[in-house]
Amino acid sequence: MIKRSLLYSLLSLSPLLAEADIQLHTCYGNPHQLIVEGRILNEREFKESSKEDSWVTNGWRKVKHLINDEHENIALTLKINETLYHGKTDDEGYFEFEVLNQKTPWKNHENIELSLDELNTSIHASALIIDDNVKVGVISDFDDTVIVSDVTDKLSLLKNTFFKNYKQRQVVEGMREHFKKILNPNTPLFFVTGSPKQLQPVIHQFLNFHNFPERTLITKKAHGDNADELFDQIAYKQGKIEKLMILFPNIQWVCFGDSGEKDREVYELLAKKYPKKVQGIFIRNVESKTIEKIL
């Protein structure tokens, strides 16, 4: 009886005993405004994926990515150039800083530090600061734009998402080359996708594996406090992209998407509302597999 009670106590305490892991999702802004987002979870290790992994292995690993032991209501501090900003995680362990800078303008690759106030845990990172001289940027969808997901076929989507790892997934031919024609070292690349934030590490793994350029990934907060719009894809993507347009008023955007999930509608709405901010629209037809220039 004593052994059983001790076991139950250890199981209940295991989230508290595990080392907290600071996951940084995004860190970008202009010289006077910075957005930093991430999540505090129990530290977990995942075995490196292989092209030979079975669908069972892939499915189990994907479930573990989606189920996390988060740290809610945890105080943390953001430090930039000796200036401190304080915040807390929400009910799902997510945190978000939107800070303003009234001092010397920030520069690209500005160093930041995130630390947990009550634990001896911190990380250092480099912020993407886009100055007013940058005139062109790229916004892209992910599923069926750069990775073959078959979103319009729910069974195929399920198989691709849960039973294949990033080394087994198929890349959309030619899309990386389209990006490289536009991108130079100063051109920002943003992926705005409806994929949940839990899959953010897997998406980066896929993009790195296929040698896509450096990028900022904006994913959907699917649950918890202040969750993103779950089913209205137009409202979700339009809101995220408009935020980028406001944050970077001097940039004209080249937009990439696909015909499977409202990307064309979103981009055309934005081009109509902000005609001077949308430079071009490219849509991949998921049926013909061709990339069409819409604008």
Q: Mean per-residue pLDDT for 89-104?
A: 92
More confident residue, 112 or 222: 112
Give which of 277, 286, 46 is closest to 139, Cα–Cα.
277
Please state which architecture CATH assigns to domain 2-129: Sandwich (2.60)
pLDDT of residue 222: 84
pLDDT of residue 261: 84
Please state which architecture CATH assigns to domain 136-293: 3-Layer(aba) Sandwich (3.40)
Choice among 67-71, 129-133, 177-181 with the minimum mean pLDDT: 67-71
Residue 15 has pLDDT above 70, yes or no: no
Q: What is the pLDDT of residues 133-191, one digit of tens each?
A: 999 999 999 999 999 999 888 888 889 888 999 999 999 988 888 888 889 888 999 99
pTM over 0.85: yes
Beta bridge partners, 233, equal none
Residue 8 has pLDDT above 70, yes or no: no
Q: Mean per-residue pLDDT for 33-47?
A: 86
pLDDT of residue 14: 39
Q: Mean per-residue pLDDT for 114-137?
A: 93
- HEC string of the chain equals CHHHHHHHHHHHHHHHHCCEEEEEEEEEEECCEEEEEEEEEECCCCCCCCCCCCHHHHHHHHHHHHCCCECCCCEEEEEECCEEEEEECCCCCEEEEEEECCCCCCCCCEEEEEEECCCCCEEEEEEEECCCCCCEEEEECCECCCECCCCCCHHHHHHHHHHCCCCCCCECCCHHHHHHHHCCCCCCEEEEEEEEHHHHHHHHHHHHHCCCCCCEEEEECCCCCCCCCCCCHHHHHHHHHHHHHHHCCCCEEEEEEECCCCHHHHHHHHHHHCCCCEEEEEEECCCCCCEEECC
pLDDT of residue 117: 86
Choice among 198-207, 227-236, 243-252 with the minimum mean pLDDT: 227-236
Q: Mean per-residue pLDDT for 271-284?
A: 95
pLDDT of residue 26: 95
Task: Delimit the domains of the chain by residue range.
Answer: 2-129, 136-293
In sequence order, which residues have a C-beta less than 8 Å from that of residue 133 and are 6 or more positions away?
A: 186, 250
